[in-house]
Amino acid sequence: MSFTFPAIYNFPPFFTQQPTADTWSRQRALWVQLVLSYCASHRLFLVDLNELSVSPLFTNASISRSLNRKAIDAVFEDIVAAGNGEWEDKKSRSRCFVWWKRPDEWAALIYAWASDNGQKICTVYEIVEGDVTEGLEFHGLHIDAVKRVLEVLVRQGRGQLFYGSSDTDMGIKFA
């Protein structure tokens, strides 16, 4: 899957935190957009900031520039603040769910699929990896990400998460 970076990606100052507050916030907004579209294109759901900082997203080899870690953290703070991200662990802040589709959008997609196909009880694994969802948009969703999505459904009263006889494999009953 090829991802075409925007023109600004080849602009060296884009990779340096700009001193003017206004410019810096504008720059962050552009980075947020870039991160979201990059993750959507590569279907990344849970990103490790350490890994991502050395990925082509934050490192442009052709102009030998990369965004430093502090700036990356700031960009991700913005993503989380906008509701397009969620720290896996709020304290360590090393891994972040990237909601390029918001959890409620995913939840709506999954619920629509379940009600259209008369699915009553599904394992979480089945929803994201099963043969029945092959080719659907939420197929391949990260297993931890989908759990958070399903929690949205529980809050909406459209489903109930539960365990079988083992405590490891979760399932959902759709309303």
166 scored as a contact of another protein (CB under 8 A): yes
Cα separation, 175 vs 42, in Å, equals 32
Between residue 96 and residue 125, which ones bind another protein under the rule CB under 8 A?
Answer: 120-123, 125
164 scored as a contact of another protein (CB under 8 A): yes
State in angstroms the smallest separation of the CB of 134 from another protein.
Answer: 13
Q: Which stretch binds another protein (CB under 8 A): 14-22, 55-63, 105-113, 163-171?
A: 163-171
Q: Are strands 121-123 and 159-163 parallel, antiparallel or unpaired?
A: unpaired
138 scored as a contact of another protein (CB under 8 A): no
160 scored as a contact of another protein (CB under 8 A): yes
Which residues are CB-neighbours of 133 under 8 A, at least 6 positions away?
113, 126, 127, 139
Q: Is 60 helix (H, G, I), strand (E, B) or coil?
A: strand
Cα separation, 73 vs 93, in Å, equals 9
Kindly tell me which of 57 and 146 has the beta carbon lying closer to another protein: 146
Neighbours of 120 (CB within 10 A): 11
Cα separation, 121 vs 137, in Å, equals 20
Q: Which stretch binds another protein (CB under 8 A): 7-15, 26-34, 86-94, 154-162?
A: 154-162
Q: Which stretch binds another protein (CB under 8 A): 48-56, 90-98, 137-145, 162-170?
A: 162-170
Kindly tell me which of 53 and 133 has the beta carbon lying closer to another protein: 133
- By CB atoms closer than 10 A (0-12, 13-18, 19+), residue 131 is exposed
φ, ψ of residue 12 in degrees (nearest 5): -50, -45
Residue choice 31, 100, 138, 174 for contact with another protein (CB under 8 A): 174
Q: How many residues interact with another protein (rule CB under 8 A)?
A: 25
Binding site for another protein (CB under 8 A): 120-123, 125-126, 129-130, 154-160, 162-166, 169, 171, 173-175
